[in-house]
Amino acid sequence: MTKQQVADELGIADVQRLKVWMRQFRLYGDFGLMDHRGRRKEYVDKDRYMKRLEMENAVLKKWLEITKKEVYKSSINS
């Protein structure tokens, strides 16, 4: 299916707009299709934000665990 056929099927008059959306999706995934204009009082995609925070929390916990082990080892060796 060509871009023109997709645009016709979806009722998009401007094929160039479809090309821009496709490029944004290829580069950034779902995030590329979100509206980024203006300031947001709340994060637009709360699920993605929560997953990011959970991942960040897990990384920090792992870093803390490694740091504690290194401090413990250095205190034993000295």
44, 34 in Cβ contact below 8 A?
yes
Between these two residues, 53 and 31, which has the higher pLDDT value?
53
Distance from C-alpha of 58 to C-alpha of 72, rounded to nearest angstrom: 21
Question: Global pTM?
Answer: 0.45
Average pLDDT over residues 36-45: 66
Distance CA 16, CA 24 (A): 12
Looking at the predicted structure, is the pLDDT value of residue 43 above 90? Answer: no
